[in-house]
Amino acid sequence: MGPSHRSTADSSAIGGPGVYGGCSRDPLVKVAGDLLERLSALADETTAALALRFTEFGEVGSTLRHHARASFMANLRNILTMFRSDIDGGSLGPPPEALAIGRLIAPILPSADDLLVRIYHVGENFVWDRVLFPALVAECCTAEELVVCTAFAREQLAAYLARALDEVVGEYKRHRDVNAQDPQSRRATLVSGIVADRPVDRSVLQTIPYDWDGEHVAFICWSDEPVEHRKLQAVADLLNAGSPARRHLAIVTSGREMWGWFQRPRGSTGIDEAALLRAIRSHGLAVHVAIGEVAGGMAGFRRGHSDARRVQEIVSYSGRPAPTVTTYEGVALAALLVTDREAALEYSRRVLGPLAENGPNQRVLRETVHAFLQNGCSYARTAQHLLVHRNTVLYRVQKVERTLGYAVSERMAPLSNALLIAEWLPGDGQGHVMAGSA
């Protein structure tokens, strides 16, 4: 690895003023400028494509997936700026966001050298096949222009990504070697392997004071912004103080996220989420906590974490501000309903009709009907639950029924499902409920 290089478009230009092989590269400059305006959408497409291709994305948590998207976006910005400003691809170093990925996965994935290489190669092909080449075909006026622009672009793209990959892998290896000497990092690597259902030496498990064969409650604690590790650990301490757990295991997986498990005495009740939320607020902690169901043994250790991950995803979709405390039991049906977010969105719109709109009046009506259904279609109990007059509930339910064209009691199950989806999915800015981005 050589000295650090600049990662922004301030390197020297190459060739001449947009000329390669005696032919203008103006189409490439135009394409790069146009694509820069779509940078965020392109980053989303790239992230989604790579997440489908590489199952490892499912093992590292939403925080690292967020960082991965930031890395893809920064690399795309470099690539497009490189073409627009006529910069030599081999002289442009990777952006800080790409180097950060190398550091972040070092304690989570101890053998990721080959994974990084494959991600970069697949990413290169995706950017070329799905983004750059189709845009050049549409922009170039002659076959000669297309040949020249594509040859130059492919050459420079390969040069840039080769250097970026080299530096990212180097960053990863340096931090992996440091982490190898750190007991906390070794613990994180071991637990990540268990969660991913990789073979684990039972003798190594004995080095961690935790009953792997007992009953567990898994949780994931995360922040929307970078947070000090001690604040994440404070949440584990609050959980420990407010529960009959004998032991707990917690690992900080990034600057925003912690995974944890409590060993639960058999037959004990679940965590009091309202009390935990009050405690988190009293400590001024702007964090989210997702809690899985009680499950036993090594399989339960993994399943509880998977439950907590689903809770984390649906809380992220909802866009609710921190602090939040959410259990799997509370959102299990909603989590299943939104597995296919587009289908769930269409279902909710179809059932709710005009009530799916995201205005304040529609939200009040949805909340009232949801409470009405949860309280057995009792106007009195619903009024008590919502702290409003019984006649207010009656008026709102009748308004909903006029809007829908049928009595709420006639289609309780579809309405309940559609209202759950609407509750957990944020607005799309067009006046309808929809699934948010992960």
Over the chain, what is the mean pLDDT? 79
Same domain, 126 and 61: yes
Position 279 in a domain: yes
Same domain, 323 and 371: no
| Closest CA relative to residue 321, chosen from 357, 281, 359, 355 | 281
Per-residue pLDDT tens digits for 174-228: 777 766 656 777 777 778 778 877 777 666 677 777 888 888 889 999 888 887 8
Same domain, 23 and 162: yes
- Write down how long the chain is: 438
The residue type at 132: L
pLDDT of the residue at 434: 34
Q: Where are the alpha helices (DSSP H) in 106-142?
A: 113-126, 133-139
Same domain, 63 and 91: yes
CB 133 within 8 A of CB 24: no
Position 5 in a domain: no
**Collapsing DSSP states into helix, strand and coil, what is residue 406?**
coil
Give the domain range for residue 366. Answer: 338-424
Q: What is the DSSP letter of 129?
A: I
Backbone angles phi, psi at 222, to 5 degrees: -145, 160
The pLDDT of 381-406, averaged and rounded, is 91
Is the dihedral angle over the CA atoms 248, 317, 189, 97 positive or is it negative?
A: negative
Same domain, 61 and 118: yes
Same domain, 159 and 293: no
Same domain, 317 and 413: no
Lookup result for tokens 């080449």: 133
* Domain CATH number, residue 372: 1.10.10.2840
Q: Rounded to whole angstroms, how far apart are CA atoms 422 and 432?
A: 9
Same domain, 356 and 312: no
Q: Rounded to whole angstroms, how far apart are CA atoms 65 and 390?
A: 47
Answer whether residue 432 shows pLDDT above 90: no
Domain boundary among 317, 335, 353: 335
| Closest CA relative to residue 101, chosen from 224, 232, 254 | 254
Answer whether residue 255 shows pLDDT above 80: no
pLDDT of the residue at 128: 93
Position 186 in a domain: no
Highest mean pLDDT out of 179-193, 277-291, 339-353? 277-291
Q: How many domains does the chain have?
A: 3
Position 140 in a domain: yes
Position 6 in a domain: no
Domain boundary among 318, 335, 352: 335
Residue 253 structure tokens: 């997986």
Same domain, 134 and 233: no
Residue 330 half-sphere exposure, CB side, CA atoms within 13 Å? 19
Q: How confident is the model at residue 20 (pLDDT cuts 50, 70, 90)?
A: very low
pLDDT of the residue at 30: 92
Position 2 in a domain: no
pLDDT of the residue at 132: 93
Q: Rounded to whole angstroms, how far apart are CA atoms 424 and 142?
A: 51
Q: Rounded to whole angstroms, how far apart are CA atoms 68 and 56?
A: 12
CB 287 within 8 A of CB 280: yes
* Domain CATH number, residue 255: 3.30.70
Domain boundary among 335, 362, 380: 335
Position 117 in a domain: yes
* Domain CATH number, residue 129: 1.10.490
Same domain, 118 and 46: yes
- For residue 327, the surrounding DSSP H or E stretch is strand 324-327
| Closest CA relative to residue 126, chosen from 27, 45, 66, 69 | 45
pLDDT of the residue at 431: 40
* Of 214 and 401, the one with more pLDDT: 401
Same domain, 256 and 297: yes
Same domain, 208 and 331: yes
Answer whether residue 334 shows pLDDT above 80: no
Per-residue pLDDT tens digits for 39-67: 888 888 888 888 788 766 555 555 567 77
Position 407 in a domain: yes
